[in-house]
Amino acid sequence: MDTSAAGDRVSQPVARTLAFFARLRTAGLPVAPARTLDALRALQFVDVFDEDDYRLALRLNVAASPDQERLFDQVFAEHFRGAPDTRRYPGGIRGETMQGRLGHHYKELDQQLTVDPAHFSQGEFERDTDLADRWDPSAAPLERIIRELARRLATRPSRRQRSDRRGSAVDLRRSIRRNTRHGLELVELARSERRTRRTRLVMLCDVSGSMDTFNPFLLRLMLGLQQLMRSSRTLVFSTHVTEITSALRARSVQATLREVAAQVRHWSGGTDIGGALGNLNRGVIREGSASSTIAVIVSDGYDNGAADRIACEMAQLRRRVRKIVWINPMYGASTFQVRAAGMRAAMPCIDHFLPAFDARSLQLLVRELRDV
Amino acid sequence: MSPMPDLSTVASVQTLFESRQYIADRALALTVKLAGELQKPILLEGEAGVGKTEVAKVLASVLDTPLIRLQCYEGLDANNALYEWNYARQILHIRIAEHDAAARAKLETSIFDDQFLLNRPLLAAIRHPGPRPAVLLIDEIDRADEEFEAFLLEVLSDYQVTVPEIGTFKAALPPYVILTSNRTRELNDALKRRCLYLWVDFPTADKEREIIRQRLPALDDALAHTVANLMQTLRRIDFYKRPGIAETLDWSRALLGLEVKNITPELLLETAGVILKHRDDIERLRASDLDAVLAGETPTTGSSRQVY
């Protein structure tokens, strides 16, 4: 350790720690003021002369995931020992171009959907006038359809009961409790209804080059579903896999796009569906989640990986989730055939294979999903 | 009762844990120490089978206090976690009181007496009388619903619970709280903020060897060495469920029972069910070059994967 840094740290531990936290923030690890106080409080109980104790006491309070732990250790080493900076800071040049591209897609989508409201009134669904009347160019047009989609996906009666004044069953336990004041004559009945089972959605979206044209739609879909189904998780893949759940929870669309662009550095890359599915099977989806999870895969199925890997991972995934829904934007094209080897390998395991590439087809998809 | 064990230094925590056959690394020992001093819950995340739950058990044993365990599951609610009234006994009490004028007059106050209160884990931990703090283990919090997390946050923030009919219970001795998560989903930020966070990784070969030696002293040293190294190799293979320390110990016990002197590829395959719990994983191992695996080489990904 650099002795001057050590001396500094001891003479002004608080200031030194705060300077370090400032550096952590620029490196992309958010340290809230409350956490800062917690960390400083923890320092009273450890030997700040001991580098390990000092580092761990801070880290326990500041980091909240294995990735953050790693980032913390790295920044710590750089800050106090002057180790070379090997990290790529988010928001670099690549990040900015990425954001530009996503922003562009978003604008395009708005145009596509605002310019042509007639698109919706072709009799494909009954509420066309409704929609045209209430059309607000600044509102998110997919929102309503996605809300319906979320409702379809998430409503499933559970075996557990919850109290409900107009429920269909009598809750004996609660009835007795309520009627203790009447000397146990059952004057009022407490009723209960079956609970609605929470469905967890895990969405795996293909953002490889071949999907570029569908990006505007894809972004809307991911954003909408993540915001309406808070417990769902969203991952994007090309040759790598990145979970963007937390990025999609950002407050504004602009912030979200910035975040996603910073996190996903393989946008428009190649495709490795098998690898992405494998990642899903080993990470996000575990045993025990089977009955409550629906996997939604959005991809055109063009893959340069091995088809047998895809088949194997799909079979594994099949056993781990309740339903697999595959949304294939190419399916809508008249020339479409299941020709891609990857797609063919995956077919046997898919419960619902559906086309969707814009708002209208998504509406159709929602109807199709009636019984998921 | 023996004096309160010293948890104020990293070294003493490590020694106390080791006396319970648990090898605690520096980070974990410091976490336990700080949890006591700052009275903060500990959040342990890590893959299944790395010994997260064991920390709570060992800590309870070190403190010689009860381990109060709350196993989380989807649909867990406040009734099952906090308290419930014992309705059956209440009704019985009312029926008896009906035949006694004096008791009937007092019925309203006596019916919500402590004796009819069923303490569920959270309340039990808060009401633990001491003289030492209880250990509250909230296991697999990622299985519970998000609403439950929010509820938990409330209880953990001031260690007090209000039962409307009786009043507020405040912990005389805030319990040691250990939350574990397999990270099947990301936990609420507010909950994480409340805790000391530690990611528990698979042990290094040295540490694993030491664990085997501690837990199964009867196992031959050379064999323990081989087992520890083999587990490291196996964990580098792309299995659906990588074997944890629990599997290491189970397998070591199996080897001990079988009176094995050295590990052959045949033996590895025959006993693979102790280490690997997925059919695909076992098939995968079968398809690998076992001599290479035993020699510590990681089989290449992809080539050995088959369609089943």
Q: Do A69 and B185 touch (CB under 8 A)?
A: no
Express each pLDDT in A4-60 by its tens digit: 444 444 457 788 888 899 999 988 888 888 888 889 889 888 888 888 889 999 999
Q: Given A81, A101, A133, which residue is the final one in a domain?
A: A81
CATH number of the domain that B34 lies in? 3.40.50.300
- B1 lies in a domain? no
Residues A316 and A248 in one domain: yes
Residues A185 and A237 in one domain: no
Express each pLDDT in B259-270 by its tens digit: 888 889 999 999
- B304 lies in a domain? no
Q: Do A278 and B91 touch (CB under 8 A)?
A: no
What is the structure's pLDDT at A136? Answer: 36
Q: Do A198 and B87 touch (CB under 8 A)?
A: no
pLDDT at position B109 over 90: no
Residues A209 and A169 in one domain: no
pLDDT at position A126 over 80: no
Least confident among A155-164, A248-257, B61-70, B218-227: A155-164
Express each pLDDT in B276-304 by its tens digit: 988 888 988 988 888 888 887 776 544 33
Instruction: Mark residue A123 as left, alpha or beta (left: phi above 0; alpha: psi -120 to 50; beta: remaining).
Output: left
Which chain B residue has the Cα nearest residue A291?
Answer: B74
Q: For residue B201, list chain A residues with Cβ-Cβ distance below 8 A.
A: 66
- B283 lies in a domain? yes
B173 touches chain A (CB under 8 A): no
Q: For residue A45, list chain B residues with Cβ-Cβ distance below 8 A.
A: 33-34, 37-38
All residues at 6 or more sequence positions from A2 whose CB lies less than 8 Å from its CB, including other chains: A80, A81, A82
pLDDT at position A112 over 50: no
Express each pLDDT in A268-327 by its tens digit: 778 888 888 888 887 777 655 666 788 889 888 877 667 888 888 888 888 888 888 888
- A290 lies in a domain? yes
Which chain B residue has the Cα nearest residue A65?
Answer: B199
**Chain-centre distance for alpha carbon A113:** 24
Q: For residue A281, list chain B residues with Cβ-Cβ distance below 8 A.
A: 240
Element (DSSP H or E) covering residue B102: helix B101-110
Residues A73 and A167 in one domain: no
- B192 to chain A, minimum CA–CA distance in Å? 7
Task: Give mean pLDDT, residues B145-153.
Answer: 85
Residues A187 and A261 in one domain: no
Q: How many helices (H) and strands (E) does chain B have?
A: 16, 9
Q: For residue A316, list chain B residues with Cβ-Cβ distance below 8 A.
A: 240, 280
Residues B40 and B185 in one domain: yes
Residues B175 and B27 in one domain: yes
User: Which range is most confident: A114-128, A209-223, B114-128?
Assistant: B114-128
Task: Give mean pLDDT, residues B251-259.
Answer: 92
- B217 lies in a domain? yes
What is the structure's pLDDT at A337? Answer: 61
Residue A312 has its nearest CB partner, among B40, B94, B307, at B307
* Cis, bond preceding B131 (omega within 30 deg of 0): yes
Task: Give mean pLDDT, residues B159-188.
Answer: 87
Which phi and psi (to 5°) does residue A351 adopt? -80, -45
User: Which range is most confident: A342-346, B95-99, B173-177?
Assistant: B173-177
Q: For residue B98, list chain A residues with Cβ-Cβ distance below 8 A.
A: 183
CATH number of the domain that A209 lies in? 3.40.50.410
- B308 lies in a domain? no
- A108 lies in a domain? no
Residues A173 and A220 in one domain: no
Q: Do A312 and B305 touch (CB under 8 A)?
A: yes
Residues A222 and A352 in one domain: yes
B302 touches chain A (CB under 8 A): yes
Q: Given A145, A168, A196, which residue is the final one in a domain?
A: A196
Residues A258 and A242 in one domain: yes
Residues A172 and A307 in one domain: no
What is the structure's pLDDT at B1? Answer: 59
Q: Mean pLDDT, chain B, as a whole number?
A: 87
- B209 lies in a domain? yes
What is the structure's pLDDT at A335? Answer: 55
What is the structure's pLDDT at A225? Answer: 83
Domains in chain B, number: 3
Task: Give mean pLDDT, residues B56-65.
Answer: 94
- B155 lies in a domain? yes
- Give the C-alpha separation, B127 to B119, whole Å: 9
Apex A281 CA angle, A279 and A282, nearest 5: 65
Residues B280 and B210 in one domain: yes
What is the structure's pLDDT at B197? Answer: 95
Q: For residue A52, list chain B residues with Cβ-Cβ distance below 8 A.
A: 26
pLDDT at position B227 over 90: yes
What is the structure's pLDDT at A367? Answer: 75
With contact defined as beta carbons under 8 Å apart, do A223 and A144 qualify?
Answer: no
- Give the C-alpha separation, A234 to A214, whole Å: 17
Q: Do A56 and B306 touch (CB under 8 A)?
A: no
Domain coverage including residue B43 = 10-81+120-200
pLDDT at position A123 over 80: no
Q: Do B186 and A183 touch (CB under 8 A)?
A: no
Residues B171 and B228 in one domain: no
All residues at 6 or more sequence positions from B251 whose CB lies less than 8 Å from its CB, including other chains: B227, B243, B271, B274, B275
Domains in chain A, number: 3
Q: For residue B143, list chain A residues with Cβ-Cβ distance below 8 A.
A: 288
Residues B76 and B104 in one domain: no
Which chain B residue has the Cα nearest residue A245?
Answer: B186
Domain coverage including residue A192 = 158-196
Residues A192 and A282 in one domain: no
Residues B210 and B286 in one domain: yes
Residues A240 and A211 in one domain: yes
Confidence of residue A87 (pLDDT cuts 50, 70, 90): very low
Q: Do A45 and B145 touch (CB under 8 A)?
A: no
Higher-scoring residue by pLDDT: A69, A106: A69
- B3 lies in a domain? no
B73 touches chain A (CB under 8 A): no
Other C-beta atoms closer than 10 Å to the C-beta of B239 total 19
pLDDT at position B92 over 70: yes
Task: Give mean pLDDT, residues B158-168.
Answer: 86
Least confident among B169-178, B192-201, B286-295: B286-295
What is the structure's pLDDT at A195? Answer: 73
Express each pLDDT in A329-368 by its tens digit: 776 655 556 667 777 888 888 888 877 777 777 777 777 7
Give the closest residue to B32 by CA, choosing from B63, B2, B67. B63
With contact defined as beta carbons under 8 Å apart, do A200 and A295 qualify?
Answer: no
Q: Given A65, A81, A97, which residue is the final one in a domain?
A: A81
What is the structure's pLDDT at A120? Answer: 30
Express each pLDDT in B2-19 by its tens digit: 678 888 899 999 999 999
